Structure 1
């Protein structure tokens, strides 16, 4: 029990010690790996309902789509990275980085990369101070096309449903945008 308390206290006091002594040192940012150029970007709002708290939490994500793949990540992280690159030439001090990250309430990395040429889905995620990564083939999802259409953002959209990994999913898609890619592991939706 003493070890757990020590670790918790260390984690709680680490930001104060770190902030007081190292704010002027360069921030240690991860390597940037560019495997494609974005030709389209879509922002999604995830709404998660917590039945215990009886509340809904919304989070924005961005899907950056290129010819060879896509990246799906937290939108606040995307905004933070854009400011770091534009205002600090990608080389901020720790203090500058935390000021920007705190503005967007993001200090964690969560992103999924679909590399179509390698047929690989790569997931990167930070949980507290640990980093997790896994890789798998891009799943080939079988969709059931549903009759009827709806207009979404000025496009005539069709509805499709599927069951994937134990959950039922609904997607709206348009044939007016000829891109076969979607958020998370989704794709393979053709008219």
Structure 2
């Protein structure tokens, strides 16, 4: 057997398969289970989707994807649709420019932070198991003060994963941190979808991480500022439907307590140091 010819043939097939995969559009669906309060056993569940098109990918909620699709269709006929603001955990990875765009919302304001794409120092082990009919291999990672366990499959030739994570030789099927605060589980995949990775239903404020942290602290210090100023209209009603004027001082104390309690981001290095009093 001519091993040189065989090696070249295999190499060409692998390259062609990779190029075909890269040339297709994908929707990868994940179930996300997480704790907003690390000291509480209560978890929340969110249906997420990863859009992959050429050298870009976008990770965000399925609810926001559906809402964006409705808005896009309405705009074709000059119609209007109710906007949702389910932007937390949303990221856009630009693998060509090596840029990572993170999005977060405070009330109805969307903030965009652009960073260099992180380099993940994955440790790939020899451990394997089957998940959702896929043969998967285990990898571990220490990133942003969390220890992660990932299971990826080379059955799907996409070097992608949920949130900011990528860089393994296959699609990440399962990902969780060692303290069970965050877990992502693959739930489905669709090929050749018509995708618009760049679409945002509202224009974001482009800020640095430092500026966004200040915005979070400003919101903490006066969480009802926009309502008190009349920029956000709210009708306060009691159980009988009678309108009343709220005690913003007491509401602020309650909301500040709630903000402090739910300060458990995926990247622990991004946790905000709120005032102790």
When residues 90 and 122 of structure 1 are mapped into structure 2, their CA distance, relative to the original with a 3 A threshold, is farther
- 1:55 and 1:170 mapped to 2: Cα distance? 21
2:47 counterpart (42, 48, 60) = 60
- 1:134 and 1:88 mapped to 2: Cα distance? 27
- 1:166 paired residue number: 145
Is the partner of 1:55 in helix, strand or coil?
coil
1:113 is displaced (CA, Å) by: 0.8
Larger % of strand: which? 1
1:21-60 pair list within 5 angstroms? 39-49=25-35, 50=37, 53-60=40-47
The answer to whether residue 85 in structure 2 is matched with residue 107 in structure 1 is: yes
Question: Taking structure 1 as the reference length, what is the TM-score of the superposition?
Answer: 0.68
Give the count of matched residue pairs: 147
When residues 117 and 83 of structure 1 are mapped into structure 2, their CA distance, relative to the original with a 3 A threshold, is same
- 2:140 and 2:127 mapped to 1: Cα distance? 13
- Segment drifting more, 41-50 vs 132-141: 41-50
* CA-atom RMSD in angstroms: 2.4
Larger Rg: 2
Unaligned residue ranges in structure 2 (runs of 5+): 1-22, 171-277
Unaligned residue ranges in structure 1 (runs of 5+): 1-36
1:38 is displaced (CA, Å) by: 6.4
- 2:46 and 2:107 mapped to 1: Cα distance? 18
Asked if the contact 2:100/2:117 (under 8 Å) is kept, the reply is: yes
2:108 counterpart (120, 129, 133) = 129
Question: Taking structure 2 as the reference length, what is the TM-score of the superposition?
Answer: 0.48
- 2:77 and 2:134 mapped to 1: Cα distance? 37
User: Which gives a bigger RCO, structure 1 or 2 (Cα 8 Å, sep 6+)?
Assistant: 2
